[in-house]
Amino acid sequence: MQEDEIARANKKFWKANAERGDLYSTPWLDLDPEIVKKWVGGEIEHLLVPFSYVYPNHIFQNIAGKNILCLASGGGQQSAVFGLLGANVTVFDLTDEQLEGDRKAAAHHGYDIRTIQGDMRDLSRFPAESFDMVYQAISLCYIPSLEEIYEQVIRVLKPGGIYRVGHGNPAFWHLEEDSWDGRGYRIVSAIEGEEIEDSQQFCHEFGSIFNELIKTGFEIMSVHQDPRHLAKEPDGEPGSYHHMHFYAHSMFAIVTRKD
């Protein structure tokens, strides 16, 4: 597809993140394969920060030899978990800077990987029914329409294939980091799904998130809260990203199946 204003803005945003080595742009070179296996086997409840936002563990069971697409999930993080477990991993991301993190993680840990640069709104380069699972982290907030992504994903999934998709809690969009009052973060504004100008992000409401999945033909299997909120104490100073996410419970994931 032709690159539009949304793609250009998001490219610039993620290129800058990768160059700074931000949270979601740093490859997981110190990920312990034995810890990953114990987590998948249920011996560990959840991975520790910074690895804890990869979840739920049951979708990582018995994936050796399976074809996995990490969709708009570059950076060398989720792909490292799949790679260490023996999956055939393809990472499709908007920027080569993010994909470089996946290549670094693969070289470090010693598994093969395929990286392809492109827009998540156009998966036409992949044949139908190519993948056993599509894993998507929190990236749908960077595009205005969920339907076009869901339709792309269901086409490339094999029958019975799993689509794990992360979303931001739309209520979180009403909060501001500087609204901490000593007990919690306050609702300070109304969001109606409009574009957030400084980073080209879009708020998707619960109705769209779930109803579009059902409309597209996915069977919803389960919903999971981001494990980072299970920490006993907030991480970071009040008003910081980590502190706010501990209190606000900002992210969750839906596990679906192509019916």
Map residue 31 onto helix, strand or coil: coil
Q: DSSP label at 160?
A: E
pLDDT at 239 over 50: yes
Distance CA 231, CA 106 (A): 29
Distance CA 92, CA 100 (A): 12
Amino acid at 99: L
pLDDT of 92-110, one tens digit each?
Answer: 999 999 999 999 999 999 9
pLDDT of 42-94, one tens digit each?
Answer: 999 889 888 988 999 999 999 999 999 999 999 999 999 999 999 999 999 99
Place 232 in a pLDDT band, splitting at 50, 70 and 90. low
Half-sphere exposure of 5 (CA within 13 A, CB side): 6
Give me the pLDDT at residue 120, please. 96
Indicate the pTM of the whole model.
Answer: 0.91
Say if residues 14 and 94 touch (Cβ distance below 8 Å): yes
Instruction: List, in sequence order, every residue forming a beta bridge with 67; answer none if it has no partner.
Output: 88
pLDDT of 241-258, one tens digit each?
Answer: 778 777 777 889 999 999
Map residue 183 onto helix, strand or coil: coil
Distance CA 212, CA 134 (A): 17
The architecture (CATH level 2) of 5-258 comes to: 3-Layer(aba) Sandwich (3.40)
Q: Residue 217: CB partners within 8 Å, gap ≥ 6?
A: 154, 258, 259
pLDDT of 167-201, one tens digit each?
Answer: 988 877 777 777 888 888 877 766 544 444 456 78
Mean pLDDT, rounded, for 197-208: 80
pLDDT of 20-30, one tens digit each?
Answer: 989 899 999 99
Between 121 and 193, name the one with better pLDDT: 121
Helices (H), 67-220: 78-84, 96-109, 146-156, 206-216
Helix axes 96-109, 5-20, angle to 10 degrees: 40
Between 188 and 19, name the one with better pLDDT: 19
* CA 101 centroid distance within chain: 15
Give me the pLDDT at residue 231, please. 65
Q: How many residues does the chain have?
A: 259
Give me the pLDDT at residue 199, please. 65
Task: For residue 255, give the H/E element and its range.
Answer: strand 251-258
Give me the pLDDT at residue 164, please. 98
Q: Residue 130: CB partners within 8 Å, gap ≥ 6?
A: 67, 69, 156, 157, 158
